[in-house]
Structure formats: C-alpha cells, structure tokens
Amino acid sequence: MVDSTSSSPPWWAAGLPFSCSQCGKCCEARGDVAHVYVGRADQERLASHLGLSLQVFRKRYTRFEPGGYLGLRFEKGSCIFLDGKSCSVHEAKPVQCRTWPFWPELLESPETYRKEVLEFCPGSQAETPIVPPESIADQALATDEAIQD
C-alpha cells in the first residue's frame, strides 16, 4: 500500500513517465501472474456495458481468485476481453486496468517497479510524459478502493 501517513516523500515524488502505447502486453498472463480483480462497481459497469445481468456476467466472465476476490477469467494466456491488442470493453474496463501501473504494490519500491513494470511495459519508459505525483497517489488509492468495494 502507499503509506499516506509517512512524512518522507515516496520514491516517485517527482512523478513517473508513463503513456500507454496500447501494446496489450499487460492484458496477457506473465508466468503465474494472471489477475484482473473486479470490485462490485466494476462488475456492475461491465455487466451493464455487455447488456447482461450481474449473475450472468459473473458466471460467464469471472472466476474466484485467491483471497476470495472476484477476477476476470483468462483464456489462452490473456484476459477474456483482450481482442488482438485491444480491450473489447475499453469504455467499461475495471479500475485496475485504468490505473495500472500505479498500483500500491508496484509502487512499493524502485526495484519492484523496475521488475514488474519497466522490464516489459513500453509505455513506462523514460521518454514518455511525466505523470505528476498527485495523479499517481490518486490512482493508487482508487485501485485499493475499487478492489475492496
């Protein structure tokens, strides 16, 4: 988690470069990592977008993840909603997909961020525009809140 009670500034206090190039890589499984959590509001938004009841949406597109959270299903190594390199539910996609890579667990340390983000995401490289720290903090908080709802 991002520690909002800490008095020392986070390592990303000067902002971080990021601009998604829509390569679709973060919608694919990476080894054992294949989790897209969907909170209640995510589920309702996606179900409505697809014209489905909540029950049908859950049955067709979700699965239980460790810890009892609900997540999107993966098929053939990719999120069930990945269509080529594009998200087929872009307008209604989960908060987690909107806020990546500014998740609390990825921001924990520069080492974690390098390993989990910089090593494979072309949108996070140094030449991309800087996202200000206020926005990073807001997105980290939104990620936590969306999963807990």
Site for ligand SF4, rule CB under 6 A: 20-27, 36, 72, 79, 81-82, 87, 89, 93-94, 97, 100, 121-123
CB of 2 to ligand SF4, least distance (A): 19
Neighbours of 52 (CB within 10 A): 15
Distance CA 96, CA 69 (A): 13
Q: Which residues pair with 33 in a beta bridge?
A: 30
Output the smallest distance, CB 22 to ligand SF4, in A.
Answer: 5
Considering the complex, state which of residue 3 and residue 119 has its C-beta at the smaller distance from ligand SF4.
Answer: 119
- Shortest CB 8 distance to ligand SF4, Å: 28
* Residues 6 or more apart in contact with residue 102 via CB below 8 angstroms: 16, 18, 131, 135, 136, 139, 140, 143
Q: Which is nearer to ligand SF4, 16 or 79 (CB)?
A: 79
